[in-house]
Amino acid sequence: MSARKVKDNVEIYLSLLIGLVVMTFSFLIPDVFWSSANFQSIASQMPVLGVLALAMAITMLTGGINLSIIATMNACGLVMAWVATHYPPSVGSMALVLLAGLTMAIVIGSVNGFLIAVVRVSPILATLGIMTLLNGINILISRGSAISNFPDYILTINSTNLLGIPVPLLVFLAVVAVIWVILEKSAFGRTIYLIGSNEQATHYSGINTRKTIVWVYILSSMLCVVAALLMMSKLNSAKASYGESYLLVSILAAVLGGINPDGGFGKVFGMVMALILLQMLESGLNILGVSSYITMALWGGLLLAFIFLKGINLSRLFGR
Amino acid sequence: MVNKFGIKPHELFLGLTILVIGGYLSFASPDFMTFGNIYDLVNNYAMLTILACGLFIVLISGGIDISFPAMTIISQYVMVTLIQGTTGNFAIAFALSGGIGLLLGMVNAVLVNRLKVPSIIITISTLNIFYGLLLYLTKGVWLYSYPEWFEQGVMLFKFTATDGYDYGLSLQIITLIVVIALTGIIMNKTSIGRMIYAMGGNKEAASRMGFGIFKLQLFVYGYMGLMSGVAGVVQSATVLTVAPDSLLGYELTVLAAVVLGGTSIVGGRGTLLGTLLGVILLAVLQNGLNLLGISSYWHTVVTGLVIVISVSMTAWSQRKGQGV
């Protein structure tokens, strides 16, 4: 398929939808929607979901999926929480917290990657199994209760503003930038797209597809560490059952952002737009006093509408 | 395909695993091999088995449906609301609940067929829509009040065993037998079953052979919906309450049971016997851990391990002959 053929106008539709949402809310609730409180609420909601959606998206680009992201986030969160609450705050213990989280992520990512790339279990099944296993281990080691009361160096992530911008949002933007560079500017990123388009052809052209897939799942798990840190900082606790509702929402956000679930196509930019759209909608409806269940249904409806729109051939519609 | 009556290696392996675990349990726990325990086990896992039969057919067709917990609860909720204070019977309950499930399943089928994106994406959307609307409209209120005929249930060939409890063919068991027989006949004895296997094996080829893909999808997702409705009645008869948010996350448990049985997630491969063995393995494991007094914290770990090992072994044995 040529690049022209697969151009599916994701950015155009997302801009239209965002425009529609902004206009509707500006008309209905101009004072509240354009208030700094609203933007702060969006800024505090978006980072965790955003990072998780990216963790989902990079595996979807290879034609896979990672159902274990939430379990991974909680596993890394619990390990980091244990370290953080057992050692007095110092530069050394901060490093140890990060090291513990990253080690956990690399182990989990390697197991997922090994099952998918080497044993050739389908990604849905491999990550479903690992998800169940991790959920069990998380409950087992934490006895189902929360680890809380973290030292200041974790809590300040959530409470600090830099140049008037909340740090979690900056963290999210940094993650976006890193993933953008990896996907758009590196050979590794090229390989990810190639595997998603045609794994066999990529393999026969002499690229080590197994190694790439393993690294993709490790990268996905490492993003879960970032999500775990943001979550810990926001809630001041870690627990085996946090964020379960994010699993399907992160798939929804990735697909809405233009990631093709069969692999090969999708851009980071589209995903950021999708996340802004989802969070604006949630925040605006929340201000309007609309039930969060309606928001849940609307997100689902939005995804269907978006898929429907994407299927319409724009150029044919305008007779070009 | 192995011949129709032959046992596949994977099924043999599952059967042996169940025998080994069952053998160990009957040795380690005096309660396991009792009639009462097995009877309760069958009753309690009836809903899971019925849903697994539906999902089995969807997976064979090359699709996936994860919206069925929402369909189950919606059918159940509407059915219980409508039959309150009536003098009816279970035929009405099944017709109402199954009809609503069927309708919701058809909605999935239309969307999957028209929008041409992987069915997992469609059913994630409809799961959100179904659950969102249900929770909004019901405000999460539980239902407790059932008509008397529903609470009494059904019990054929009732007898009292030496342990003092009543046994017989309960509503759950009768429904379970009917569903298994129906699913088995559809998939093994009818041309529509053959077509579903063919579509899952190669959709393009099936389409060129003149199979109506849309009709097959209507059947497959409709059947999943119908099973969700039927499972709703069975679940309701067991627990006598409807909690709108009770089945959140249940889709992955059922999926685990079906793939444990060796059904391929990309379609075309798998047997009903395998699916049933997968359900039995999960049920026996969880029951066994309970009877052995092992802390419930371990249950998920063991379930996860069994899933990982089983899907790995299936994948490893099918790996030969693949290109990469």
Report how far apart, in Å, the C-alpha atoms of A242 and of each of A70, A73, A146, A269, A299 are.
Answer: 8, 9, 10, 28, 21
Overall average pLDDT of the B122-129 stretch: 90
Most confident of A37-46, A296-305, B3-12, B104-113: B104-113
pLDDT on residue B106: 96
Distance (Å, rounded) from C-alpha A270 to C-alpha B275? 40
Q: What is the pLDDT of residue B9?
A: 77
Q: Do A298 and B132 touch (CB under 8 A)?
A: yes
Q: Which residue of B has its CA nearest to A111?
A: B308
pLDDT band at A307 (very low <50, low <70, confident <90, very high): confident
**Which chain B residues are Cβ-neighbours of A240 within 8 angstroms?**
none
Q: What is the mean pLDDT of residues A215-226?
A: 95
Class of domain B9-312: mainly alpha
B92 touches chain A (CB under 8 A): no
Q: What mean pLDDT, rounded, does chain B reach?
A: 87
Class of domain A41-306: mainly alpha
Residues A269 and A99: beta-carbon distance below 8 Å: no
Per-residue pLDDT band at B320 (split at 50, 70, 90): low
List, in order, residues 6 or more apart from A197 with CB less than 8 Å away.
A1, A263, A264, A265
Q: Which of A134, A137, A261 sits opposite B121 (nearest CB)?
A: A261
pLDDT of residue A205: 82
What residues of B are in contact with residue A140 (Cβ under 8 Å)?
297-298, 300-301
Nearest CA-CA distance, residue B23 and chain A, Å? 25
Q: What is the mean pLDDT of residues B187-201?
A: 91
The C-alpha of A319 sits at a distance from chain B's nearest C-alpha, in angstroms, of 23
User: Is the model's pLDDT at A58 over the cut of 70?
Assistant: yes
Band of residue B252 on the pLDDT scale cut at 50, 70, 90: confident
3-state secondary structure chain B: CCCCCCCCHHHHHHHHHHHHHHHHHHHHCCCCCCHHHHHHHHHHCHHHHHHHHHHHHHHHCCCCCCCHHHHHHHHHHHHHHHHCCCCCCHHHHHHHHHHHHHHHHHHHHHHHHHHCCCHHHHHHHHHHHHHHHHHHHHCCCCECCCCHHHHHCCEEEEEECCCCCEEEEEHHHHHHHHHHHHHHHHHHHCHHHHHHHHHHHCHHHHHHCCCCHHHHHHHHHHHHHHHHHHHHHHHHHHHCCECCCCCCCHHHHHHHHHHHCCCCCCCCCCCHHHHHHHHHHHHHHHHHHHHCCCCCHHHHHHHHHHHHHHHHHHHHHHCCCCCC
Interface of B with A in 278-317 (CB under 8 A): 297-305, 307-308, 311-312, 314-316
Q: Which residues of chain B are within 8 Å of residue A144 when distances are taken between CB atoms?
A: 297
Q: Which of A116, A121, A141 to mutate to test the interface with B (most CBs of B within 10 A)?
A: A121
What part of B 49-68 touches A (C-beta under 8 Å)?
64
pLDDT band of residue A244 (cuts 50, 70, 90) is confident
When pLDDT is cut at 50, 70 and 90, the band that residue B90 belongs to is confident
Point out the residue among B118, B133, B135 whose CB comes nearest to the CB of A261: B118
pLDDT(B5) > 60: no
Mean pLDDT, range B30-36, rounded to an integer: 85
Which of A145-149, A310-314, B154-158 is predicted with the least confidence, judged by mean pLDDT? Answer: A310-314
Residue spans per domain, chain B: 9-312
Under the banding of pLDDT at 50, 70 and 90, the label for residue A101 is very high
- Rounded CA gap, A14 and B304, in Å? 39
> Is pLDDT above 60 for A318?
no
In the structure, what pLDDT confidence band is assigned to residue A149 with cuts at 50, 70 and 90? confident
Question: What's the pLDDT tens digit per position in B208-245?
Answer: 877 888 999 999 999 999 999 999 999 998 888 888 87
Distance from the A8 Cα atom to the nearest Cα atom in chain B, whole angstroms: 14
Entry pTM = 0.85
Interface size between A and B, measured as CB pairs under 8 A: 153
Identify the band that residue A241 occupies on the pLDDT scale cut at 50, 70 and 90: confident
- Specify the range with the lowest mean pLDDT, choosing from A27-36, A103-112, B17-26, B89-98: A27-36
User: Is residue B219 packed enough to be buried (19+ CB in 10 Å), middle (13-18) or exposed (0-12)?
Assistant: buried
Q: What is the pLDDT of residue A8?
A: 63
Copy the structure tokens of residue B224: 């999943």
| C-beta atoms of A293 and B126 within 8 A | no
Nearest C-alpha in A relative to B124: A248
> How confident is the model at residue A5, as a pLDDT?
44
pLDDT score of B169: 85
- pLDDT value of position B231: 94
Region A252-277: what's the mean pLDDT? 87
Report how far apart, in Å, the C-alpha atoms of A194 and of each of A28, A264, B244 are: 46, 6, 44
From the CA of A152, how many Å to the nearest CA of chain B? Answer: 32
Lowest mean pLDDT: which of A215-219, A309-313, B95-99, B149-153?
Answer: A309-313
Tell whether the model's pLDDT for residue A320 goes beyond 80. Answer: no
What pLDDT sits at residue A4? 42
Q: Which residues of B touch A209 (CB under 8 A)?
A: 324
State the pLDDT confidence band at A42, using cuts at 50, 70 and 90. Answer: confident
Higher pLDDT, B74 or A166: B74
Average pLDDT score over residue span A109-134: 91
Chain A residues in contact with B315 (beta carbon < 8 A): 115, 119-122, 125
A311 contacts B311? CB cut-off 8 A: no
Arithmetic mean of pLDDT, A46-62 = 93
Domain spans, chain A: 41-306
Tell me whether residues A293 and B133 touch, CB distance under 8 A.
yes
**pLDDT number for residue A215:** 95
